[in-house]
Amino acid sequence: MRVIKAENLAKLYRLGGTRHNSLRDTLMEFVRFKRGDRHELWALDDVSFEVEDGVTLGIIGRNGAGKSTLLKILSRITKPTRGFAEIRGRVGSLLEVGTGFHNELSGRENIYLSGAILGMTRAEIQSKFDEIVAFSEIEKFIDTPVKHYSSGMYMRLAFAVASHLEPDILIVDEVLAVGDTAFQKKCLSKMRDVGKTGRTVLFVSHDMQAINRLCERTIWFKDGRIEQDGETSSVVGAYLHEQSLTGAERVWDDQAAAPGNEHARLRRIRIADESGSSVSSVDIRRPVFVEMTFDALNDKKVLIPNFHFYNDQGVCLFVSHDWSDEWRRTPRRQGTYVARMKIPGNFLAEGSVFVTAAVSTYEPFEIHFVERETIVFTVVDSPDGDTARGDYAGQLHGVVRPLMDWETEFKPKP
């Protein structure tokens, strides 16, 4: 039986104009019969697919490819701009850990509140209450306000509630990327049980192992469109293959085909070391330079280059803009610019770092081009003992790995 049918779904976001709205702006626009300069972005573009019941469907793609927008539309949080979707049965969506949790309320109260918000009836929550508490493993603190919980306890309780949802269609966004591994496994297997009992699960993740384990079918989104839709192993394979083709340098020789618009156009993005030569992997102790070469095509626009960094879990590490006084308010003269940003040594954690590069104008807001996760480089930690890792050889957590100053005060025993 078909439970989801999406046809030509599209979602347009108007950026800039709708942000920081004030009555004055709207009145001014109204009076002048014009809409402010707005940047339009098709987050989802002509997406059609169908899902049968009992299927666990994986959804993959880079950041900004439209995955979350799709989930929001199917969860009825936002409306599509075009197209439609038909959904048979009750939908439960987990787009966040602890949806509806209130810090001032106790664990017990939050189970009821969050359960109701996620779509359970009071009777359902009551009948499953003990099971939820047992699953969360926090019986002792069930009457403590959750603001006194550790983040681990908070997450356990939140997942316990979420895992006991019994909708016909369960929509899960990336939320499993956090939490300790053992508990994650417990939730994944609970989810799998849900899939086995004839329910449909839509699962968005950057974790290809989890996708492989859980989903028989996977859709790969790219720039708001479906790139591939099929058996998980082949789609994930194709996706990983494309990821692996991502190099540490990209050059656009044909300027007509290069990313950009009438104001700015991209020429080249690369990773360089201190000597200025292109590299694809860097020593964690050494600084690394991210460099973008672009053309300003007229003398009109203030152009702000910016980089966004993601790890291989799709977690955004940080974003950086060139806010220097020189370029912040001054329109750029026509010509070619090389913008170089330095990431200090002993800052990034080891592993792959994906770089999204963009040039934008902020007043009014406009994106001239954005190349998502277009290059990648690897940060390599050192066994020499002079990094944050020290003498520890095991797995180190954290998205950054700075070398911190430590001080010790010592009073000898008299």
Partner 1 sequence: MSETSVITRIEPSRAWLGLGLGDLWRYRELLYFLTWRDVKVRYKQTAIGVFWAVLQPALTTVIFAVVFSQVARFESKSLPYPLYVLSGMLPWLFVYNAITFAANSLVGNTNLVTKVYFPRLIVPLAAVLAGLIDLALGFLILVGVMFWYGVHLTAQIALTPLFLLLSVLVALAFGTLFSALNVRFRDVKFALPFVLQVWMFVSPIFYPLDILSERARFVIALNPLTGVLHGFRASLFGEQFNSQVIAISLIGTILLLILSLFVFRNMEDSFADEI
- List residues near partner 1 by CB under 8 A: 13, 18, 21-23, 26, 72-91, 93, 95-96, 99-100, 102, 104-105, 109, 112-113, 116-118, 121-122, 168
Cα gap 315→347, rounded to integer Å = 16
For 256-276, b/e burial (b = at least 16 CB within 10 A) is eebbbeebbbbbbbbbbeeee
Give 259-262 contacts, CB < 8 A, sequence gap 24+. 259/369, 259/370, 259/371, 260/294, 260/295, 260/297, 260/359, 260/368, 260/369, 261/368, 261/369, 262/297, 262/298
Output 86 or 262, the one with its CB closest to partner 1: 86
Query: Residue 330 CB, nearest distance to partner 1 (Å)?
Result: 31
- Which residue is it, tokens 């994106």? 367
Residue 3 CB, shortest distance to partner 1, in Å, is: 9
Nearer to partner 1, 102 or 285 (CB): 102
Distance (Å, rounded) from C-alpha 270 to C-alpha 290?
6
Nearer to partner 1, 47 or 297 (CB): 47
**Residue entry with tokens 């750029």:** 332
| Shorter beta-carbon distance to partner 1: residue 58 or 92 | 92
158 touches 97 (CB < 8 A): yes
Supply the minimum distance, in Å, between the C-beta of residue 194 and partner 1: 15
CA dist list (Å): 208 to 36, 85, 215, 399: 42, 27, 10, 19
Residue 91 or 288 with smaller CB distance to partner 1? 91
Indicate the residue among 87 and 177 with the shorter CB distance to partner 1: 87
Partner residues linked to 366 by β-bridges: 361
Distance CA 256, CA 266 (A): 10
Q: How far is the CB of 144 from partner 1 (least distance, A)?
A: 14
State the minimum distance, in angstroms, from the CB of residue 308 to partner 1. Answer: 21
| 181-196 and 151-163 helices, crossing angle to 10° | 10
Nearer to partner 1, 104 or 363 (CB): 104
* Smallest gap from residue 72 Cβ to partner 1 (A): 7
- In this structure, how many other beta carbons lie within 10 angstroms of the beta carbon of residue 27? 10
* CB of 153 vs partner 1, minimal distance in Å: 19
Query: For residue 172, what are its two tokens?
Result: 């899960």
Tallying the residues shown for the chain, one arrives at 414
Closer of 18 and 382 to partner 1 (Cβ): 18
Smallest distance, partner 1 to C-beta of residue 102, A: 6
